[in-house]
């Protein structure tokens, strides 16, 4: 049964923890200052949508579609993007808190993360080639068999990336943060 189609709608100051958001395909919709914390968005579809100043912490996104979605100044703790429809996944994140979220095996080629806090985010086996991590804090983020070829981590901080266990050819790093590539060797840099 096809999902209802909702287009060009603005949702503002809604608390979807107490009023249910209709399971539908949302196209070119904007969600401003909405609370989705812990909501089940499984099998929902969001195309060309914006989420601004929203709380999306611990949302359930099994088989949800996020295509050309922008998350702006939103709190997104513990979101398992790895459960989403990965075939169409494309999203950008600006000024977001993504702590404890998972991008396991996600393909986010040429993605954009700007001014994001990514404490303990799992990027294991993700394809992040050509992705821009502009001014992101990657403290305790997990990079394991991750494709970071041609990614831009020049202004990223607090990362620890093992060059032997990740693809980093052509990636950009700052001299000031180079120790994040050498942590695995337990050497002293001064």
User: Which CATH number covers residue 173?
Assistant: 2.160.20.80
Is residue 111 domain-shared with residue 84, that is, in the same domain? Answer: no
> Would you write out the chain's pLDDT as a tens digit for each of its 190 residues?
688 999 999 999 999 999 999 999 999 999 999 999 999 999 999 999 999 999 999 999 999 999 999 999 999 999 999 999 999 999 999 999 999 999 999 999 999 999 999 999 999 999 999 999 999 999 999 999 999 999 999 999 999 999 999 999 999 999 888 888 877 767 676 6
- The angle at the Cα of 45, spanning 23 to 86, to the nearest 5 degrees, equals 135
In a domain, 27, yes or no: yes
Q: Which residue has the tokens 């968005």?
A: 41
Backbone torsion region of residue 70, taken as left when φ is above 0, otherwise alpha when ψ lies between -120 and 50, otherwise beta? beta
CA distance 17 to 186: 46
Reported for 140-147, long-range contacts at CB under 8 A and 24+ positions apart, including other chains, are none
- Where does a domain end: 57, 92, 127? 92
- Where does a domain end: 92, 123, 158? 92
Is residue 141 domain-shared with residue 182, that is, in the same domain? Answer: yes
Q: Which pTM does this prediction carry?
A: 0.93
> Using an 8 Å Cβ cutoff, are 29 and 49 in contact?
yes
Is residue 46 domain-shared with residue 133, that is, in the same domain? Answer: no
Q: Which two tokens stand for residue 179?
A: 């120790």
- Where does a domain end: 92, 124, 156? 92
Number of domains within the chain: 2
Q: Which residue has the tokens 């998350």?
A: 71
In a domain, 16, yes or no: yes
């Amino acid at each position: 049964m096809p999902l209802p189609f909702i287009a060009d709608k603005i949702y503002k100051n809604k608390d979807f923890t107490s009023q249910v958001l209709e399971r539908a395909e949302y196209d070119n919709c904007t969600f401003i200052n909405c609370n989705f914390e812990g909501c089940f968005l499984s099998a929902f579809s969001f195309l060309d949508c914006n989420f601004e100043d929203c709380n999306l912490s611990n949302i359930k996104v099994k088989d949800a579609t996020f295509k050309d979605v922008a998350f702006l100044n939103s709190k997104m703790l513990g979101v398992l993007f790895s459960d989403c429809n990965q075939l169409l996944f494309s999203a950008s994140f600006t000024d977001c808190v993504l702590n404890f979220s998972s991008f396991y095996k996600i393909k986010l080629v040429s993605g954009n993360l700007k001014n994001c806090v990514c404490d303990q985010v799992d990027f294991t086996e993700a394809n992040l080639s050509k992705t821009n991590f502009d001014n992101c804090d990657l403290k305790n983020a997990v990079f394991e068999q991750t494709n970071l070829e041609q990614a831009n981590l020049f202004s990223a901080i607090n990362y620890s990336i093992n060059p032997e266990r990740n693809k980093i050819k052509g990636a950009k790093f700052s001299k000031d943060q180079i120790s994040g590539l050498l942590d695995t060797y337990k050497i002293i840099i001064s």
